[in-house]
């Protein structure tokens, strides 16, 4: 991957931490679907949640490569915990690129201290892949906006102190007319949460519908220009998608490691199944796919760190799409290597296969990623 000495040291630190603190609770989090507050505190103390906060606001001033490293290493054991590393990205990036200096001074120093959960609310029941079709409305009323509507699939929103909410402020075509607002749900009357979604995988990472009923949002909480909020969301997604690819690489690596260990131990026909060519070929295919995805993820990260936005947009879709498709194949093969035991919850690959599926869906489905890539090719 061509990491620097500093990045290698960071990788080693995160790897050791994940083995000590994440691995022991990964299965329990999946079984109980509880939000791991202890991981939030730990990652906040280590500076992992707030990696993107600039140094001038008290943050670590990390970069895309560092977020990818952190998420890859932690996802070997738990993608849900891995998402907490760099969790503040989707809140911080709109402020950095489109917010006012007053907003940055107000929120970023607090987030830089660590342990502050944030979220972004874009999707709605009828606006998923076509996020520009959202119907949540914000109407100017004096020195505030009245917010009405519903958000779906807002990861960590129910635990968040601050949420960036996308809402329509005019009837412009498509993304035109969508604005971004900072909402503090605990202090905003009219903001309520629905039933916690019961997911197949990624358990421990809560997704809860959010309802807005004449919720008043101060006008100073508008991020950037009115009607231009969708741009801030797309910029944040471009920087977050490769980190999903990194999570996929980490998850697949964990599944392959478990498969290798099991294949050496499990005996059939008086020899370890690792001696059979059929198993060897499966393991070899896993390794090739993981290394190819890892190379793509970190090439994308380098483009992001260099500020090459033209390449980043397409590479981000490639890294997310290729990485998550790869993780689905690898974890499915891992279950096959384990045989009947791979299908039971006593072994980790069953959970890993369930977790891998969501990676093909969230942050833009892989079909949408292919649309993005094709548009760039045909431009």
> How far, in Å, are 24, 43, 78, 161 from residue 28 at the CA level?
8, 19, 11, 25
Give me the half-sphere count of Cα atoms (radius 13 Å) on the Cβ side of residue 120: 25
- Residue among 72, 124, 350, 363 flagged as catalytic: 363
Distance from C-alpha of 52 to C-alpha of 305, rounded to nearest angstrom: 11
Q: Are 98 and 231 in contact (CB under 8 A)?
A: yes
Query: What does the DSSP assignment read for 327-350?
Result: HHHHHHHHHHHHGGGGGSTTSHHH
Q: What is the enclosing helix (H) or strand (E) of 57? A: none
3-state SS assignment for residue 216: strand
Give CA–CA dist 105/82, Å, rounded: 28
Q: Under a CB-based contact definition with an 8 Å cutoff, are residues 113 and 47 in contact?
A: no
The helix or strand, by DSSP H or E, that contains position 211, with its residue range, turns out to be strand 210-218
Q: CA 66 to CA 61: how far, in whole Å?
A: 10
Nearest to 48 by CA among 86, 74, 1: 86
SS3 276: coil
| DSSP H stretches of helix in the chain | 5-17, 26-32, 37-46, 64-75, 79-82, 89-98, 101-112, 229-265, 277-305, 309-338, 348-359, 366-378
Tokens of 340: 């009947």
SS3 (DSSP) at 30 = helix
**Of 111, 106, 69, which Cα lies nearest the Cα of 92?**
111
Q: Tell me which DSSP letter residue 225 carries.
A: S
CB 334 within 8 A of CB 260: no
- CB neighbour list of residue 271: distance below 8 Å, 6 or more residues apart: none
| 363 tagged catalytic | yes
DSSP string for residues in 130-164: -GGG---EEEEETTEEEEEEEE---BTGGG-SEEE
Annotated catalytic sites, by residue?
363
């Amino acid at each position: 991957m061509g990491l620097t000495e500093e990045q290698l040291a960071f990788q080693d630190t995160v790897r050791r931490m994940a083995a000590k603190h994440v691995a022991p609770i990964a299965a329990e989090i999946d079984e109980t679907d509880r939000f791991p507050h202890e991981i939030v505190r730990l990652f906040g103390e280590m500076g992992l949640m707030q990696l993107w906060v600039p140094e001038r606001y008290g943050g670590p001033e990390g970069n895309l490569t560092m977020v990818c490293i952190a998420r890859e290493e932690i996802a070997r054991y738990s993608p849900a915990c891995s998402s907490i590393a760099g969790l503040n990205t989707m809140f911080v990036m709109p402020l950095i690129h489109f917010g006012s200096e007053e907003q940055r001074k107000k929120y970023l120093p607090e987030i830089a201290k660590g342990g502050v959960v944030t979220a972004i609310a874009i999707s709605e029941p009828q606006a998923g892949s076509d996020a520009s079709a959202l119907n949540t409305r914000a109407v100017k009323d004096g020195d505030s906006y009245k917010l009405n509507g519903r958000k779906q699939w807002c990861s960590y929103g129910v635990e968040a102190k601050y949420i960036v909410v996308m809402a329509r402020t005019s009837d412009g075509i498509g993304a035109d007319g969508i604005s971004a607002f900072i909402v503090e749900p605990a202090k905003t009357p009219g903001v309520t949460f629905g039933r916690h979604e019961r997911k197949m995988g990624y358990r421990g990472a809560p997704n809860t519908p959010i309802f807005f009923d004449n919720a008043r949002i101060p006008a100073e909480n508008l991020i950037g220009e009115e009607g231009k909020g969708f741009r801030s969301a797309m910029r944040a997604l471009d920087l977050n998608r490769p980190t999903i690819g990194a999570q996929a690489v980490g998850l697949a690596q964990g599944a392959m490691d478990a498969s290798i260990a099991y294949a050496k131990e499990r005996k059939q026909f008086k020899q370890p199944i690792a001696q059979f060519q059929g198993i060897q070929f499966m393991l070899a295919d896993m390794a090739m796919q993981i290394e190819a995805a890892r190379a793509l993820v970190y090439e994308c990260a380098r483009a992001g760190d260099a500020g090459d936005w033209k390449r980043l947009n397409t590479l981000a879709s490639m890294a997310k799409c290729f990485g998550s498709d790869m993780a689905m194949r690898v974890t499915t093969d891992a279950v096959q290597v384990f045989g009947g035991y791979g299908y039971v919850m006593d072994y980790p690959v069953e959970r890993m296969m369930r977790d891998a599926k969501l990676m093909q869906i969230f942050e833009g489905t892989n079909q949408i990623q292919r649309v993005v890539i094709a548009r760039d090719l045909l431009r």
